[in-house]
Amino acid sequence: MGKLLVSAMNHAPELTGCGKYTGELVALMAGRGHEVEVVTAPPHYPGWTVKAPYRNRYSTEERDGARLYRCPVLVRSAMGGIWRLIAPMSFAASSAPVTLWRALRRRPDTVLSIEPTLFAAPFVLLSAWLTGARTVLHVQDLEVDAAFAVGHLGGAGGLKRLAAAFERFCLSRFDTIVTISQRMAERIAQKGIPEERIALVRNWVDLGHVRPLPTAYAYREELGLPRDAFVALYSGNIGPKQGLDVVVEAARQLADRSDIVFAIAGEGPSLADLQRQAAGLPNVHFLPFQPYARLPEFLSLCDLHLLPQQASAADLVLPSKLGGMLASGRPILVTAEPGTELADFLVGAATLVTPGDPRAMADALSAHAAGAVAETREQCLALAATLSEKGAMDKMVQVLFVQRS
């Protein structure tokens, strides 16, 4: 069995994004008998606030067979502009001495860095160099490309050139880079990384947990949703990359249809703006995140899953929520252009509409509500099978403990 040190700004009990997958990866590696330590921040995503019982300070805890060292991070609920740099930089600074200490103390076989955030990577690389450990970068999000594509950090200029140079410096020094989509792997290769040092492991789904269930009508009533309406559900982070304004505008187009309702579940920096945009729309319901234990039931309360995405981010991120949607067996309506990886991956298993076109979304949704769209259940379940948790973990073990540069 191997010894693994993980540097990750996000970790369990976060329910979405990188934290969800890093938490599951750590738990599954520990469950296979590996010794795992994690240097992370208090849970703060997607709301960008640290909530009780956690406090934004140094602490340790045991979780899922691993030892966690939590380090403070500067966050606030309005995470725009320069705060998109301050938050990850603050974690990199607060976690650096802890990462170095645990590496020197435990002498891990492998040090794994999760992107985001890449700001912690130099300290991961230094820790590994001092101890002779193997280095692996797990890219959940091409942080630099995505930040500029969705406007977090403005447009071109000196900051963009500096960020790109820092990214190239870090990427070039890892033994292996794991990413979650083929297009992301291609982008990493374009940044000068040899293809033999890039591995593809898509984000996974626990098929023993998320599975097709009968429509959860009682859960609908519990959450205040109409029992007999056609329910279109979005669940996940509510931020700029998701482009959820198109969902609200599609709901506006269908405001006179009492038989169709939209449920938007989650948290994030764009939630307040989205609620203001949807004010007065009787067919839009905002819901909090639901407990993970109830995820199969929650994903089965809808008639249709919504997967919006900004066009500019289409090939920079592959939505982590996709596996659960597929495993639920429900139809999926996706905003993606033909030729993007998301569109190619879902061919035959989802309805595609043009990003940013609420009329197209409303028309497609109406067609689903009328039963005028071909059944895709079997295609969805077949794709979900390719994202199985066990298959992904087998690949990660190979990357973390078997391969050598």
Q: Is residue 211 part of a domain?
A: no
Give per-residue pLDDT as tens, 125-171.
999 999 999 999 999 988 888 767 666 565 557 778 888 899 999 99
Give per-residue pLDDT as tens, 14-60.
998 899 999 999 999 999 999 999 999 999 998 899 989 999 999 99
Mean pLDDT of 73-85: 84
Radius of gyration of the chain, Cα coordinates, nearest whole angstrom: 21
What DSSP string runs through 245-281? HHHHHHHHHTTT-TTEEEEEE---TTHHHHHHHTTT-
Whether 242 and 283 share a structural domain: yes
Strands, E assignment, 184-327: 198-200, 230-235, 260-265, 284-287, 304-307
Whether 342 and 321 share a structural domain: yes
Q: What backbone phi and psi angles, to 5 degrees, belong to 277? A: -65, -35
Whether the per-residue pLDDT at 404 is higher than 70: the answer is no
Whether 253 and 392 share a structural domain: no
Whether the per-residue pLDDT at 314 is higher than 80: the answer is no
Whether 282 and 246 share a structural domain: yes
Give per-residue pLDDT as tens, 91-102.
999 999 999 999
pLDDT computed for residue 153 by the predictor? 60
pLDDT computed for residue 316 by the predictor? 63
Cβ density class 177-199: b for 16+ within 10 Å, e for less: bbbbbebbbebbeeeebeeebbb
Q: Is residue 210 part of a domain?
A: no
Following CA atoms 277, 280, 283, 286 in sequence, which dihedral angle do they give, to the nearest 10 degrees? 60
CATH number at residue 104: 3.40.50.2000
Q: Is residue 50 part of a domain?
A: yes
Alpha helix (H) ranges present in 304-357? Answer: 322-328, 341-345
7 in Cβ contact with 124 (< 8 Å):
yes
pLDDT computed for residue 403 by the predictor? 63
Task: Give residue 8's domain range.
Answer: 3-204+388-402
How many domains does the chain contain in total? 2
Q: Is residue 184 part of a domain?
A: yes
Whether 197 and 234 share a structural domain: no
Contacts of 177 (CB under 8 A, 6+ apart): 136, 137, 139, 171, 188, 193, 197, 198, 199
Mean pLDDT of 117-127: 97
* More confidently predicted of 241 and 5: 5
